[in-house]
Structure 1
Amino acid sequence: MPPLPVRGAPVRATLVIHEPPTGTGNSPGRERDRIRLSFNPERISVRKQARWDRSSGPSNAAAAPAQFVAAQPRVMTLDVFLDAPGSRGGVQREVEKLLACCSPTERSAVEKPASAPWVRLEWGRSLSTAFLALVTEVSATYTRFDADGTPVRAECTLSLEEAGGTTPRQNPTSGADGPVGTHRVAAGDSLPSIAWYAYGDPGRWRAIARANGIDDPERLVPGSVLVLPQVEDGAGPVPAPGPAGGTR
């Protein structure tokens, strides 16, 4: 059986690095860097657990009923391959960026509390891997060197843990569709995937389309910046606009 056709060119996976939240906030700070992977991952492991309590008395012979305690953070492990033949610094700069994700940023060390950066894997339409995370471990192995000893290829393994908590996405005193943020469109982005990241609900893509005057949700221009409007939490997906809106 012939392989299924792939639409368009492959989308390059990117690790987006953010400043950690300031103070006691739970929203990541500004984007501080991006690491565009030389090769897309071939395998990504995602794991999530729940805590249950089965406390019972010593004389209870039957299994005690389970009581839900808490959801554990999502954990992801992926292999990252970096390649930079002919580059003056090789892959060392990118590897150092990865290693720095396990250390506090200079800004957070000054403003307190000190914290390592927050990261997010950005890879086209992938949703289950596009969560804000903390880097818990980085392992790098250099596998190729230039004549002067400069490492030009590296195989890295990253362990990420979901940052968790509820990220505030709107002014709680207003349910109006005012701007709450922006998103720069990357190749492979779709309105549902952007809505999932911004609001945790892909069904709210219509609010983004309406706020940006998008008539065709299938045609997003990479590099363009979209306004992310405020939507009221708990209101469910934003209703589709009427015929004048043009979205579907």
Structure 2
Amino acid sequence: MLSELLGGAPVRAALVIYDPPTGTGNAPGPERGRVRFHFNPDRVQIGKRARWDRSPAPSSEEAPRAQFVGAQPRTLTLEVFLDAGDFRSSVQDQVEKLLDCCAPTARSATAKPASAPWVRLEWGRSHTTAFLALVTQVDAAYTRFGHDGTPLRATCTVSLEEVGGATPRQNPTSGADGPVDTHLVVGGDTLAGLAWQAYGDPTRWRAIAEANGVDDPARVPVGTVLVLPVLEERPAGGAG
């Protein structure tokens, strides 16, 4: 009752599972299932690293200057708590869904390259954790059993790694090919807000709209994967 007075019942988190793309595309295939969390996580750990090279010069007494090599994918680790309650088959089914995310799908196994499903943590208005990823590890501990040995409760530690990748620039005003980022639209997203996050300038939303063929920026469906093109620098004093 108190939670409803303060803004409604909590939004339940879920791990959305997609078919991997065909070929080398950067957009996932259709949704193939969900692992709906029985309880929301108490803690989600997210990380990102950059690679730097410090090759020392021979006989130099100075520390070598760092040279940027590249960005590493985001990583995310969380605990998923599952409790069967009155549904005694659901815990095993959910754990099997998580474990299956560590193996190529049957469809992709006959094609090249084979790929495990892509996943995304969906949790209300959380943006930082809502990136497309691969499951790199699942550790499930069953902690309660029925009289027939059926697992009734499990705590699963799930590790994710951002899919990443690069596609050609799709911004018509851009020059040569280059890396871009992608964003999966969630509730509350706006093109101006995405432009602010990506470029620090909300007026650059038109570039996102043009790159994705969006005619009405106010009507971008939740679940759409948008390309965020790498933009050329504006000349000093240039207009948006």
Instruction: Give the TM-score of the pair, scaled to structure 1.
Output: 0.71
Counterparts of 1:76 and 1:231, CA distance in 2: 22
Paired residues of 1:108 and 1:114 also in contact (CA < 8 A) = yes
The 1-side partners of 2:166 and 2:40 are apart by: 30
The alpha-carbon deviation at position 229 of structure 1 amounts to 9.9
In structure 2, the CA distance between the partners of 1:6 and 1:165, relative to structure 1 (3 Å rule), is: farther
- 1:68 equivalent in structure 2: 68
The one-letter code matched in structure 1 to 2:51 is: R
Q: CA distance change for structure 1 residues 232 and 115 in 2, over 3 Å: closer, same or farther? A: closer
Q: 1:70 to 1:98 in 2, by over 3 A?
A: same
CA distance in 1, matches of 2:138, 2:77: 10
Residues in 2 aligned to 1:184 and 1:68: alpha-carbon distance in whole angstroms? 30
Alignment of structure 1 residues 216-235 onto 2, 5 Å: 233=229
Confirm or deny: 8 A CA contact 2:118 2:134 kept in the other structure. Answer: yes
Where structure 2 has 5 or more consecutive residues not aligned to the other structure, the ranges are 174-183, 233-240
CA distance in 1, matches of 2:189, 2:215: 8
Give the conservation status (yes or no) of the 8 Å contact 1:80–1:156.
Answer: yes
Say which SS state the counterpart of residue 35 (structure 2) adopts.
strand
Unaligned runs of 5+ in 1: 175-182, 215-224, 237-248
Task: Identify the residue that residue 179 of structure 2 maps to in structure 1.
Answer: none
Secondary structure at the counterpart of residue 111 of structure 1: coil
Q: Are the aligned partners of 1:90 and 1:153 in contact in 2 as well (CA < 8 Å)? A: no
Count of aligned positions: 210
Q: Secondary structure at the match of 1:91?
A: helix
Q: Residue 127 of structure 1 corresponds to which residue in structure 2?
A: 127
CA contact (8 A) 2:88 2:151 kept: no
- Computed over aligned residues only, the root mean square deviation of the Cα atoms, in angstroms, reads 3.7
Task: Give the share of equivalent positions with the same residue, in percent.
Answer: 56
Distance 1:19 1:60, change over 3 A: same
Structure 1 CA distance for aligned equivalents of residues 223 and 138 of structure 2: 34
**What's the secondary structure of 2:97's corresponding residue?**
helix
Give the Cα–Cα distance (whole angstroms) in 2 for the partners of residues 160 and 39 of structure 1.
Answer: 19
